[in-house]
Chains A and B, each alone.
Chain A
Amino acid sequence: MPSLANLLEVFGETLRDVVPIVAILALFQLLVLRRPLPNPKRLVEGFACVLAGLVLFLLGLEYAVFPVGKTMAAQFTAPDFLGVDAAAMQGEAAAGSYFWIYAFAFAIGFSTTIAEPALIAVALKAEELSAGAIRAWGLRIAVAIGVAMGISLGAYRIVIGAPLHYFITAGYLVVVVQTLFAPKLIVPLAYDSGGVTTSTVTVPLVAALGLGLAESIPGRSPLVDGFGLIAFASLFPMMTVMAYAQSSQWRASRNRARANTAGSAPEEDPT
């Protein structure tokens, strides 16, 4: 449970974190734009809310989200749970026995992304802009599958201990090739879908999962292997979103071609 000293320390640090952005906005408003601050009472209220909210949030992360992520990682990798003895858990041969970790990573990634409010808004916007060629639901599912696949594959990388940058570099190459063929409208949206959809709660939970995995799997170091899940979760949605856009474009053009041949055939018949 949080102690008073701990609470005060977090409060002091949070104050230090929030003051810069408030000072920047206030100074630019007063000195450069030379306008009075609009509605100062609401501003102070808002500042107090931000401060209190951030303190509570960080305490909650420390007492709930981080321990839960690490505990789950430890429980999924415990030899007792896997039903094997600890000596057999060395090396790449063991990678297959961690099935439940991959399943859990996939489920967390999919469920948090499909419910992400920022993504819902963006998906509706994209449907509107593309005149229905991109479906909001299709886009949300594409991003969610991307995040889920990313976190799963990231967990697999931690298990086998391969260097992170091999995977990420290969991923970027795929993204670059896809960019050449994807419909132009979708490209900026696809590039952003990764970064935007990993929300404030998902990021710490996924990070804790990775660190917990690297701590509990023999031969892995948290510092070298534990990070990287968020990078995977940001990379894969780019691929799945562009793949989805390509497939819907392909389907649309095939339908059009079919409609054209069907429509023109009777006209040509009499001549």
Chain B
Amino acid sequence: MLAPGSSGDGDAADNVSGLKTLLRMLSGSARDLVPIVVVIAFFQGVVLRQPFPNLASALVGLVCVLLGLALFVRGLELGLFPLGESMAHAFARKGSLGWLLTFSLALGMGTTIAEPALIAIANEAAEVAALAGAIADDEAARDRYALGLRLTVALAVGVAIVIGVFRILSGWPIHLMIAGGYLLVVVTTAFAPKEIIGIAYDSGGVTTSTITVPLVTALGVGLASSIEGRNPVSDGFGLIAFASLTPIIFVLVYGILT
């Protein structure tokens, strides 16, 4: 145990470095936003030359996005990422296939449910579906639709991670599996109602984002580096390729069933 004084000092130092890191993250997310703001400002000022409606509200929202993204990523780095990565490595080494696959399924689903871009897109899709009369136009129906969509995508990503982990263990060729998956997409599309096709195809790109990519890559890299004869780089990335493919199929099927 440290003396109380020194532990207090440690805390203070910790807080200062925490603040510094937060500032660094803030400038990081500002850098993400700068290209968007510059392009929009250029087109507004030079091409459209129109007054921008609700400028104040948009600026407040922009600050919210900036702060929110910085806090979100900082929080992930503080808590979830170190824990998730150490667990992914532990499960990869543990050797129990059953627990490894259960963990993969749970990890894929849990990270996808919390994925910010997916939350936003699902809400938007529900609103559009309600306006078009595909579902009832009340809040309960919209929430149900958005949640159903997100659970479908989450299940798809969970299944994708399980398949991907299985592939790393068995060494099946990734090209054939991906090509087979795309074939399945084309076949399923033929039976799906056309209202769902756009949302389904988009959901593939949306799922693999801020939370899912680092945690899932950690699982893939941990697994590939604990098995001999596997390349950590290509196998770690292979998981993401599956996670962008299965949501398309699952959402198309969701559209056929509902």
Contacts and interface: CB of A to CB of B under 8 A. Distances in A.
Given A100-B43, A234-B204, 12 more contacts: A54-B72, A56-B68, A63-B61, A68-B40, A72-B43, A76-B48, A117-B32, A169-B186, A201-B32, A224-B195, A227-B201, A231-B201
A231 B39 contact: no
A21 to B, nearest CB: 4
B39 A57 contact: no
A15 to B, nearest CB: 11
A52 B36 contact: no
A44 B83 CA distance: 12
Contact of A108 (B32, B36, B185): B36
A64 B58 contact: yes
Contact of B198 (A50, A53, A225): A225
Contact of B186 (A25, A67, A125, A172): A172
Interface in B29-82: 31-36, 38-40, 42-44, 47-48, 50, 52-54, 57-80, 82
Interface stretch (A35-43, A87-95, A260-268): A35-43
B72 A188 contact: no
Nearest to A180: B175
Contact of A203 (B31, B59, B121): B121
Nearest to B190: A165
A64 B107 CA distance: 31
B201 A168 contact: yes
Contacts of B186: 165, 169, 172
13 contacts: A21-B211, A42-B79, A45-B75, A49-B79, A60-B62, A60-B67, A76-B48, A192-B237, A196-B208, A196-B213, A203-B205, A203-B206, A227-B198
B200 to A, nearest CB: 8
A54 to B, nearest CB: 5
Most buried by A among B38, B65, B186: B65
Contacts of A17: 113-114, 119
A187 interface: yes
A213 interface: no
A107 B39 CA distance: 7
Interface string B199-242: 10110111111110100000000000000000001100110110
Nearest to B33: A201
B74 A21 contact: no
A229 B64 CA distance: 25
B71 A53 contact: yes
A49 B39 contact: no
B202 A229 contact: yes
Contact of B65 (A64, A115, A222): A64
A223 B132 contact: yes
Contacts of A81: 48, 50
Contacts of A37: 83
Contact of B75 (A53, A164, A172, A207): A53
- Chain B residues touching A, range: 35 or more
A53 B74 contact: yes
A229 B206 CA distance: 11
A108 to B, nearest CB: 5
A57 B206 contact: no
B68 A55 contact: yes
A115 B31 contact: yes
A21 B109 CA distance: 8
Interface stretch (A26-34, A133-141, A241-249, A250-258): A26-34
B205 A46 contact: no
Contacts of B243: 195
A188 B52 contact: no
Contacts of A107: 39, 42-43
B198 A226 contact: yes
B76 A63 contact: no
